[in-house]
Structures are given as C-alpha cells and as structure tokens.
Amino acid sequence: MSSAPSGAGRRWRIALFFPVVLFVLAGDSAWLAARGWDGRLATMIAAPAYLLLMLGGLRHEHRIMTLVFVPFTAAGEYLFSIVFQWYTYRAGGVPAYVPFGHAILLATGILIVDSPWVVRHTRGLRRALLLFHGLLTLGALLVYGDTLSALLGLILLGVLIAYRGRLLYLVIGVLVLYIELVGTWLGCWRWGPAPFGVLRTTNPPVGAFVCYVLAEVMVMQSIVWVLWMRRHRRAPGGARGTRGYYSQQLALIRLLYDPPPADEAPAAPAPASPEADPYGRGYAAGALGLTYAALDDLERALTCFERVAAQAAERGDPAVAALAAWHSGRIHLRAGRPELARPLMQRYVDHLRATGHPDAARHAAELAAVDA
C-alpha cells in the first residue's frame, strides 16, 4: 500500500475542488454560450488535468478505483441521461468532461475522509451529515413533492446500514449538492420534473448523490473481487480460495483450525471433515475481514470481525471472540481511533495470559506500543 499524501498536499488539493468545478461548469454554461463564447475546450483541458493532480495525492488502491470510475460513470451517464432522460445537458449528449468530473468528486471525498481531523471526528461528522441529508430530503419531499429524492434516500439508508454508515458517502453528498446547484444555476444541465413519468423531482433533486454512492459501491466491490482473485491465483498453497491458500495466508484461519479445549467446545456440532467447512467451524467472515484489511477497506473489515465476534459469543467460543476483538482493535487503530482500539486489543491479551499462551508477551508488547 502506498503512503497517504502529506497534510499540506491534501489540503490544497481539496481546496482547489470548489474553484476548479466552478471554472469547468462556467465554461459549459448557458450564460457563456448565449454570449457567443464556447468554453468547452477549456473544460476538456481543465478536468483531466485536475484529475491527474488529484491522483498524485491518492494511495495506490484509491488511484485505481478513481481511474475505473471514469469509464464506469461514462456508462452511467449514458444510461440516466440518454436512455432514461432523467436529466439533459445543454448541448445534448454527455459532455466529455463529465466522467472526469465524477472521478474528481470521488477523489476529493476520499482525501477529505482520510484527513486526520475528519478521522478524529468521524462519529460527530457522521451524525451531523445524516441529520443534514435527512432533513434536506424530508424538506424537499414535503415542500416540493420530491419523491425521487425520497426513494433515493431510502436506498441510501440501506447502503449505509450495509456499510456501517461509511462517512465517504455522506461527504460525497455534500460535494454533489455543490456541483448540482452550480451546474443547474449555470444552465449546464436540467433535471426533468417527472422521471419515469411517475416520480417527481426538483431541479436539481437533493438526493442525486445517491447515484454516485451506488456507482462507488459497485466499482469498489468489483475491484475488491478482482484483486482477491489475483491473490488467489498467485497463492503458493492453492488457487481461487482453496483451503490451502487460506490456511497459509490468513492468521485467523490458522487459529480457527485448532481444536478448542474441552471446556470451550462450540455450541454447534463440528463438521464431519475439514472439507465440509473449509473456513474452520463456519467463521468465513474472519477470512473475508483479513482480506478487506489487506485491501485497506477498513469499514468492511471491521464489519466482518464484529460478525465473527458475535458468532463466537453465540457458540461459546471465547478464543475466537477475543481474536476477533484484537483484529477489530487493529482496524480502529489504523483508522485513527486508539480509544476504541485499546479495550478490544486488551481483551485478546487478557485471554492469552489467562490461557498461558506463548504469544501473550508479544501481543502485550504491541498493545503497550499503542499506549506509548
């Protein structure tokens, strides 16, 4: 994994987002066209150039996702603008700068949520933005009858539940709102009043950003699986997720294969053979969590480890529950939340000490380094 950009580099890249967006949209504005000026060439130079600048501030895995976003959203623009005709652009078709703009927006959102101040205040910001988007959607529904935004809001709620209220999606909502307001004000595009002839919306709809969120989810999921399959093919102990691959590459799986002590037997009966349950007593989410952690997808990794901990608690399996807590703590630590990490990691250290495990001292030293 590549290192994060410096604080100064991140700040000026984020700050440039607002004037660059204004410049690009002004170049394609109805106001400029009415005066006989064509600024589309300038937009086609500015948008890709700024995207290249943004790519220099991203980690390698985020850079890949941002680049994939360009053709992916170009297809989405064709679908929603040309086929469904939810909105139409001033000059018809889809302007060439638009897919680059989508990628710029995603890159800006990633830089914002990765900044230290935002990481430290993730919980408070999540609550504030949830309230902001909720009130905005409700107000648009009650005042303007914006049923499209209400429907998109329900879809967003499902995504947030599935992805633990990922802050990136809420931040994207604010950035998209800025773009939509500026773009419609300048006459670059216009939303139709009745998408599909059934729903109603405003110009622009306050829930338009949910389309960006769904695109990001699909792109991220596709990249995760592609990278995962590449890892499987290169694995020396087996390919495409075989038992040998997981047993060699994932520390959690090695522990799960160990038979539990007699007084810690799981509530559910053990499988008849290892092949019947190749992940070890049904803790497949642990393997998935470690893979997500290796791909730097911390929120999904945390969800997996919490599910393992819940499974282990139901089965009366304290060793696995404590190990899952350790991994959850390390995820919190990587995300800049040491106050949440310490008690989880301490739980595993306490378990190792209580069982006389030889790794207790090593894990205790790692935990001590967190407090140092």
Q: Are residues 324 and 199 in the same domain?
A: no
CA dist 51 and 49 (Å) reads: 5
- The pLDDT of residue 125 is 92
The verdict on 278 and 206 lying in the same domain is no
Measured distance CA(103)–CA(72) in Å, rounded: 10
- Residue 224 has a pLDDT of 67
In a domain, 225, yes or no: no
Shared domain for 79 and 162, answered yes or no, is: yes
The last residue of a domain, from among 160, 195, 219: 219
Q: Number of C-alpha atoms within 13 angstroms, CB side, residue 116? A: 7
Kindly state whether residue 43 falls inside one of the protein's structural domains: yes
**The pLDDT value given to residue 182:** 94
Whole-number pLDDT of residue 227? 63
Identify the pLDDT of residue 177. Answer: 93
In-domain check, residue 228: no
DSSP-assigned letters across all residues of 269-337:
PPPSSGGGSTTSTT-HHHHHHHHHHHTT-HHHHHHHHHHHHHHHHHHT-HHHHHHHHHHHHHHHHHTT-
**159, 194, 219 — which closes off a domain?**
219
Residue 166 lies in a domain: yes
Cα three-residue angle 84-86-90, rounded to 5 degrees: 110
CA 211 to CA 49: how far, in whole Å? 25
Tokens of 23: 């410049």
Are 112 and 199 contained in the same domain?
yes
Give the pLDDT confidence score for residue 254 in this predicted structure.
Answer: 39
Instruction: Give dist(CA 63, CA 112) in Å, integer.
Output: 15
Question: Do 57 and 183 share a structural domain?
Answer: yes
Domain of 18, in residue numbers:
7-219
What DSSP string runs through 175-237?
Answer: HHHHHHHHHHHTTSEEE-SSGGGT----SS-TTTHHHHHHHHHHHHHHHHHHHHHHHHHH-TT
Q: What share of the chain is helix, strand, coil (3-state, %, to 5)?
A: 75, 0, 25
203 in the same domain as 69: yes
Domain boundary among 200, 219, 238: 219
Please name the residues in contact with 338: beta carbons below 8 A apart, sequence gap of 6 or more.
Answer: 332, 370
CA distance 74 to 292: 27
- The pLDDT profile of the chain, 372 residues, written as one tens digit per residue, is 344 455 677 888 999 999 999 999 999 988 888 888 888 888 989 999 999 999 988 887 788 889 989 999 999 899 888 988 889 998 888 999 999 999 999 999 999 988 888 878 888 999 999 999 999 999 999 999 999 999 999 999 998 888 777 888 999 999 999 999 999 999 999 998 887 777 889 999 999 999 888 888 888 777 766 766 665 555 444 444 444 444 444 444 434 333 334 343 333 333 333 333 333 445 667 777 877 777 677 887 888 888 888 888 877 788 888 888 999 998 888 887 888 888 999 999 998 888 888 888 888 888 888 766
Are 119 and 32 found together in one domain?
yes
Instruction: Tell me the β-bridge partners of 190.
Output: 88
Q: Residue 266: its pLDDT value, please?
A: 38
Report yes or no on 2 lying in a domain: no
pLDDT on residue 230: 62
- Structural domain contains residue 363: yes
**Based on the domain organization, do 131 and 277 belong to the same domain?**
no
Q: Are residues 24 and 125 in the same domain?
A: yes
Same domain, 150 and 258: no
Number of domains present in the structure of the chain: 2
43 with 105, same domain? Answer: yes
In degrees and rounded to multiples of 5, residue 5 shows phi and psi of -70, 160
In terms of domains, do 198 and 285 share one? no
Length of the chain counted residue by residue: 372
d(CA 353, CA 156): 44
- CATH code of 316's domain: 1.25.40.10
Taking alpha carbons only, the member of 166, 171, 170, 169 closest to residue 292 is 166
